[in-house]
Structure 1
Amino acid sequence: MNFKKFVFVPAVIAASFAAQSAFAVTVPGPLVDPAWLNAHLNDVKVLQVSGTMKDFTTAPEIKEIKGKKVAVTVSGHVPGASFVDFKAIRVTRDIDGKKVKGVIPEKAAFEKLVQSWGVNKDQPIVIVPKGLSTGDVDEATRLYWQLKYYGQDNMAILNGGMAQWLADGMPAATDSPAASAGNWVATAERKNILATYQDVKKALEQPGAVELADARPTNQYMGVFTKPKELSGHLPGAKNVPPDLLTTADGASARFLPKASYESMFKAVGLNPGKEIVDYCNTGHLASGLWFVTHEIVGDKKARLYDGSLVEYSQYEGAKTIDPAKLGK
């Protein structure tokens, strides 16, 4: 790890990164690396979803280990970034008479939330997770999916998140910038990337027409996890792609794999990316990571995220996951 460039950026300097630009830059793909982001800090809006405000404003602890400077704690933020509280981006909503937690806010509410982060219309966005595990990376993919659903296209996730940013020796800020409200507009409601309970019900009634992909840990998929009981086991016919398969942590951070690796993985578990895939988990958090891989990296534009996932599905009378005792039969 190279920390030769590592510096803490005071509020006055960091604020300059928040200046609006002509927004002429187009992100090179769904993922960017620290070098690209560092070169384009004036061109994009950085949204950092990497823990608490305390994490956001606390300098990372740096130690010298075997002659190299290493970030012992991953904190601070990319200069000019706006803090995003992951707990605030999803809400409890009434959907067809069922109270479902953890779903996407309604259009007007989400637009106002994004504006509060200082995002402007047509502004490119880069989302920065903490980058230490698939779970926190999936906080970034969940925000990415919601922005995509409401019309944002020019955006990317920082591969490896803040952990990789620090490992590459990039500058870390610790100020608490007060973002002025932006004028971002939710321009669409892309139903083609959203799956509902009715969609899943139809898929179960017509086996083989749609691929169901379970993004939860294998113990939950197999029914070993039984609290709460209604989330135990999986939807009939669903293939399991557990979260620990989606990123690699062989270095400083949890990073996404190459497209070819995912294609081989899907083939191994029996998923066919050429067909429509519905990704689900318990609440639509981990499944957003699988959706990001299937839709954005592999390029299966038929992939959809079941927003309500098993928390919604389990509320319907007669809607049960497969009996763990019948697995393999």
Structure 2
Amino acid sequence: MTFPFSLTAAAVALALGPTLAAAADFGPLVTPQELSALVGKDAAPLVLDIRGEGEDGYGGGHIAGAVNAPYQLFRGPAENPGAVPDDATLTSRFRELGISREQPVVVVHQGSDDTDFGAAARVYWTLKSSGVSQLAILNGGVNGWKEAGLPLSTEAVTPNPSDIEVTLSDQWLADAGDVQAAIDGESGALLLDARPESFWKGEEAHPAAARPGTLPDSRDLPHSSWFQGDGALIDASAAAGIAQDGGIAPDTEVVSFCNTGHWAATNWFALSELAGVEGVKLYPESMVGWSQDENHAMSNVPGRLQNLWNQIKGN
């Protein structure tokens, strides 16, 4: 039997067993109604609630059976929050959360605004780069779930540990070397800034950034471009239209960046998972990491800082 992805297809797949469920089309977005039909089934997906554990997050009510996996578990230290934890750390954390490559995973965020979605997209990217292929994000998050009139639980869930071994793939990962190659014209990759225009212009900067500004020859495509008025993401067709209008073809190589790989994860998700652009990579450390190396060139740095940087380079 062949089904297009829909609520019926997913429900049938799960009813017939884990093997077929894993083979069925899954994600990259699910609606509250679709997820509700899967929760509690024998072969239900692992639901990861990435909000904090307090009363204003997981502790105040979550989808029944969801495991609390706070966003910070997938992030770096305060001085460089965009950094990706190493393989050993990810392996330990994934095992404790019960993440495996066999069970589909749904990532759930609050759904408060477009910035909040970046957390879900960054966790999705980390899971996909770790070899978890059956993935989805709950479109609209917990807020969308509540707006659909669906119930929440306050019963904490203790996950069953897994035996996953993580080796992060570089298929969707860009590092400083990839960025430099794009700047030097060696790769032809488009450097795409996901931040609001004020950051791209150097008028604002992240507190952990050493300098305001952006990557040389980058283009600005704010992460907020991909959302409907209700806080949910647009569909694949609309995402493909935005990419096309921006001159981003399906075979365009893109390096998505922002301040700490948060907003950039939204651009990566929308282009890679919705619009079908195959060569999109995320630069996790983004401008915080890049700006902390004084040898890295930047554009749109305010005049005094730019002159200082030029003097340093001249010496």
TM range (shorter): 0.7 to 0.9
Aligned-partner SS, 2:107:
strand
Residue in 2 aligned with 1:67? Answer: none
In the other structure, the counterpart of 1:85 is 70
Read off the aligned partner of 2:51 and give its amino acid letter. S
* Counterpart-to-counterpart distance in 2, 1:200 and 1:223: 19
Q: Give TM-score scaled by structure 2 length.
A: 0.81
- Whether contact under 8 Å (1:30, 1:157) holds in the other structure is yes
Aligned to 2:261: 284
**Which letter maps to 1:116?**
E
Percent of pairs with identical residues: 28
Instruction: Tell me the equivalent position of 1:134.
Output: 114
Distance 1:77 1:230 in 2: 38
Alignment partner of 1:301 is 2:293: no
Residues 216 and 282 in structure 1, CA contact (< 8 A), matched pair in contact too: yes
- Counterpart-to-counterpart distance in 1, 2:161 and 2:80: 29
* AA matched with 1:315: Q
Q: Is 1:150 matched up with 2:130?
A: yes
Find 2:233's aligned residue among 247, 256, 281: 256
How far did 1:124 drift?
0.8
Which structure has greater strand proportion?
A: 1
Amino acid at match of 2:132: Q
- Asked if 2 retains the 8 angstrom alpha-carbon contact of 1:214 and 1:240, the reply is yes
Residue 212 of structure 1 contacts residue 239 of structure 1 at CA under 8 Å; is this kept in 2? yes
SS of aligned partner of 2:82? strand
Compute the displacement of 1:152 (Å).
Answer: 0.7
1:131 aligned partner, one-letter code: G
Contact kept? 2:67, 2:97, Cα under 8 Å: yes
Q: TM-score, normalised by structure 1?
A: 0.78
2:30 to 29, 32, 41: 32
Segments of structure 1 that go 5 or more residues without pairing to the other structure are 1-20, 59-75, 94-98
Aligned to 1:28, what secondary structure does the other structure show? coil
Which residue identity is paired with 2:251?
A: G
Q: Note if contact 2:101-2:133 (Cα within 8 Å) is conserved in structure 1.
A: no
Structure 2 CA distance for aligned equivalents of residues 302 and 120 of structure 1: 26
Matched residues in 2 for 1:23 and 1:136: separation? Answer: 33
**Residue range with higher mean Cα deviation, 116-125 or 35-44:** 116-125
Q: 1:161 to 1:23 in 2, by over 3 A?
A: farther
CA contact (8 A) 2:206 2:259 kept: no
Answer whether contact 1:239 1:271 (CA < 8 A) is retained: no
Contact 2:48 2:107 in 1 (8 A): yes
> CA–CA distance in 2 between the matches of 1:231 and 1:149?
30
Q: Give the deviation of 1:197 after TM superposition.
A: 0.1
Greater helix content: 2
Give, in whole Å, the separation in 1 of the partners of 2:115 and 2:205.
20
Counterpart selection for 1:315 from 292, 297, 312:
292
SS at the partner of 1:278?
strand
1:206-229 C-alpha deviation (Å, 9 max, x unpaired): 178111110111111111114657
Deviation at 1:265, TM superposition (A): 2.4
Q: 1:275 aligns with which of 238, 244, 252?
A: 252
Could you tell me how far 1:173 is from its partner in structure 2? 0.6
SS, match of residue 256 in structure 1: coil
Counterpart of 1:102 in 2: which secondary structure?
coil
Q: Cα deviations across residues 30-69 of structure 1 (Å, max 9, x unaligned)? A: 11111211111222100011344322122xxxxxxxxxxx
Q: Does 1:198 align with 2:167?
A: no
CA distance in 2, matches of 1:30, 1:235: 29
Q: Does 1:103 align with 2:83?
A: yes
The match for 1:219 is: 198
Aligned to 2:147: 167
Are the equivalent residues in 1 in contact too, given 2:196–2:222 (CA < 8 A)? yes
Separation in 2 of the partners of 1:256 and 1:323? 30
SS in 2 for 1:261: helix
Given that 2:49 and 2:62 are in contact with CA atoms closer than 8 Å, whether structure 1 keeps it comes out as yes
Of 113-122 and 233-242, more deviation after overlay is shown by: 113-122
Is the CA contact 2:200–2:220 (under 8 Å) kept in the aligned structure 1?
yes
